[in-house]
Amino acid sequence: MSKNKIYPFAVASVRSMENSLMTKQKLMQMADAKTAEEALRILSDSAYGKTQIKGIYEFEKMIGNHLEETYQAVAGLIPQETFIDIFLYKNDYHNIKVLLKEEVSKASGKKFLIQGGTIPIETLRKNLRERNYIELPNINGEAVEEAVNMYAKTHNGRYIDSILDKACFSTMEKAAKKLGNAYVSKYVQMLADITNLKTLLRVKKMDRDYQVLEESFVPGGGVGLEFFSRAFRSDSPVAVLKETPYGSLCEDYMDQGFTVFEKACDDYLMEYIKDAKYKTLTPEPVMAFILAKETEAKCIRIIMTCKMHNIDVAIIKERVREAYV
């Protein structure tokens, strides 16, 4: 994609589609609902309502269908470009994880598979079973092999996750580099950094060894591993991380528990994504729309799951992420 290429059609379509996004108020309304059924009714009035479902336990189907529709609609806007793929690799890698675990555990992981990757699930399943990576471009075959071997040696499912997460981020990083769009590159970098920050916090909380952090460290971020190792060994990780671009994020939220920090991370990324609101012809808004939809889906999942377990409204509201619109 050349630097000055403009996409008026795609951006204008996306701007119109943005009307179908749920605002923060609407999400809060869902959180305020008395029962899960009522929350579902509010959801059905939105763009998600296209899928008819039987009861609250099927709400995931609604989200899945809508996300898939969104991916397809957006991909159709700019068929000659593949930059949307960068945001879909994570779905591919998620499916690979599920399929590999299905293979080793012999249990069915059907309900964990998600649509919307760059490769259809059936193709993925068939070629993964035959270990035929030629048919799976963009998938790091070596990483898949490594994950399988590591599992055979350790019988620990964690390695499948961490090895494939690394592969996913390096695939995203490579694709972003190839694309040469500063907005996407920065996003991928921030996503990697924030994933690492969350890992650090989690490992610290669980009192695990540094080795676990190193194994789960994803590439592609702007903050190197040595920074994280220093933060890990220090008594106050926040003091070390203050020097990174994420200083204020860590200072304000890192000590407040994992749920709060995770929400703060999502809001931090959303703040960056929102930059695209002021772009008119370049492809940023198209990518921002996908990310906005994914965040929205996450919020709905949080709200519906909390509602189904009768969690207090105030707690749900604390967890609702910032919306794009």
In the complex, the residues that contact other proteins under the rule CB under 8 A are: 6, 8-19, 77, 280-281
- List Cβ neighbours of 112 (8 Å cut-off, separation of 6 or more): 98
CB of 77 to other proteins, least distance (A): 8
Angle at 187 (CA atoms; ends 181, 189), nearest 5 degrees: 100
Nearer to other proteins, 265 or 323 (CB): 323
Nearer to other proteins, 47 or 239 (CB): 47
DSSP 179-245: HT-HHHHHHHHHHHHHHHHHHHHHHHHTT--HHHHHHHPPSS-SS-HHHHHHHHHSS-HHHHHTTST
Nearer to other proteins, 55 or 278 (CB): 278
C-alpha span between 51 and 61 (Å, rounded): 8
Could you give the C-alpha distances from 310 to 30, 128, 218, 259, 304, in angstroms and in order?
13, 40, 36, 18, 10
Nearer to other proteins, 104 or 281 (CB): 281
Tokens of 39: 């929350």
C-alpha span between 80 and 23 (Å, rounded): 31
CB of 272 to other proteins, least distance (A): 21
| Contact yes or no for 70/87 (Cβ under 8 A) | no
CB of 269 to other proteins, least distance (A): 23
Nearer to other proteins, 175 or 276 (CB): 276
- List Cβ neighbours of 24 (8 Å cut-off, separation of 6 or more): 320, 322, 323
Instruction: Please count the residues of the chain.
Output: 325
Nearer to other proteins, 6 or 315 (CB): 6
Nearer to other proteins, 10 or 167 (CB): 10
CB of 10 to other proteins, least distance (A): 7
C-alpha span between 198 and 237 (Å, rounded): 12
| Contact yes or no for 169/195 (Cβ under 8 A) | yes
C-alpha span between 115 and 123 (Å, rounded): 12
Tokens of 110: 């059907």
CB of 320 to other proteins, least distance (A): 23
CB of 280 to other proteins, least distance (A): 4
CB of 292 to other proteins, least distance (A): 13
Nearer to other proteins, 14 or 241 (CB): 14
